[in-house]
Amino acid sequence: MSAPPRPRPAAPSGAAAPGGAPAGAPLVFPRVLTVGVIGAGRVGAVLGAALADAGHRVVAASGVSGASTARIALLLPEARNHCATSVAHAATDLLLIAVPDDALAGVVAGLAETGALRPGQLVAHTSGAHGLGVLAPAAAVGARPLALHPAMTFTGTPDDLGRLAGISYGVTAPAELRPFAARLVTDLGGVPEWVGEADRSLYHAALAHGANHLVTLVNEAADRLRDAGVAQPEKVLAPLLRAALENALRLGDDALTGPVSRGDAGTVRRHLERLAATAPESVVPYLALARRTADRAIAAGRLRPADAESLLDVLSGMHREVAA
């Protein structure tokens, strides 16, 4: 299950311990952290296992559902399954909170109100949507706040551990915690990407737009291929989509191909007519993406505005029909 512990950089010499460092100075924490995980979902259990692989002591985790309990047993065998308050008490160095975005504020506030957090304790969350603001109740009692979001999709299985090497983490941290945050991300095998507090929502929107909507788009394409009589759409899509993704990441808008980027209004019209007859629920997303693709193709010089006129007329006409 676990990969061999990764070597970690040595702590800076001569630095003061937490609580004794001058204001604004980088803080130094124990080389081996005592860690607790609140929320043994797909993300929390895997990151906890990665921290254990890096040599840290994951002593407690919270999980209520059958799936969470199973993840703790499989991925965090040395951790005791406790309630959130007990996990916070046990996590003397680092408390990792990996709960849904909308539940995070309530969990943090509840832990602070019950006295489960202590001064100097690191309290990190894994939410991409939130920064340090949601950890204000923890900071108010002297805990040290850290936002640490892995830019990866998780299954909650041991297979995820092999995918962590080299991924980016969206990190928001006070200046004095940045060296520690960088060290922690290195322990996880990742690379820190520093995100400002005001930019967390935009950062998360970009990732959700790219990853989550990609899954929807791929499944939409697979469904329409099935409608067209293709028995195994994944075999048709796999090489095409892999090439499209690689080209997009490498070339940007220069990777655009297809009827929209060529201004083929007739082809797009036939697409829309067939979709309206077969899968009307796909018409609106097709229209939205086709229009955005046309805008990007024009801006990138891939499609001349004069050549786009007929195409844009088709898209606008269908949009009016749908609205009506």
pLDDT, average across residues 258-273: 96
What is the reported pTM? 0.85
The pLDDT value recorded for residue 20 is 42
Helices 233-251 and 213-227: crossing angle in degrees, nearest 10, is 140
Residue 13 has pLDDT above 90, yes or no: no
As a whole number of Å, the end-to-end CA separation of the chain is 56
pLDDT, average across residues 303-319: 94
Residue 171 has pLDDT above 70, yes or no: yes
Distance CA 44, CA 154 (A): 10
pLDDT, average across residues 268-292: 97
Helices 283-299 and 213-227: crossing angle in degrees, nearest 10, is 120
pLDDT, average across residues 72-94: 97
The pair of three-digit structure tokens given for residue 301, joined into one six-digit string: 């010089």
State the residue for tokens 């551990």: 161
Q: What are phi and psi of 144, to 5 degrees?
A: -105, 120
State the residue for tokens 């692989």: 53
Q: What does the angle CA 190 – CA 192 – CA 193 come to, to the nearest 5 degrees?
A: 130
Residue 66 has pLDDT above 50, yes or no: yes
CB 59 within 8 A of CB 36: yes
pLDDT tens for 2-11 read 444 444 433 3
Residue 103 has pLDDT above 90, yes or no: yes
Helices 283-299 and 305-323: crossing angle in degrees, nearest 10, is 160
Nearest Cα neighbor of 150 from 49, 252, 68 is 49
State the residue for tokens 């070339």: 251
- H or E element: which one contains 206? helix 200-207
Question: What percentage of the chain exceeds 90 in pLDDT?
Answer: 90
Residue 37 binned pLDDT confidence (cut-offs 50, 70, 90): very high
pLDDT, average across residues 138-149: 98
The pLDDT value recorded for residue 251 is 97
Bridge partners (DSSP) listed for residue 168:
191
The pLDDT value recorded for residue 25 is 56
Q: What is the mean pLDDT of the chain?
A: 92
The pLDDT value recorded for residue 27 is 79
Residue 304 has pLDDT above 60, yes or no: yes
The pLDDT value recorded for residue 1 is 44
The pair of three-digit structure tokens given for residue 123, joined into one six-digit string: 């309290």
The pLDDT value recorded for residue 241 is 98
DSSP helix, strand, coil percent of the chain (3-state; round to 5) = 55, 10, 35
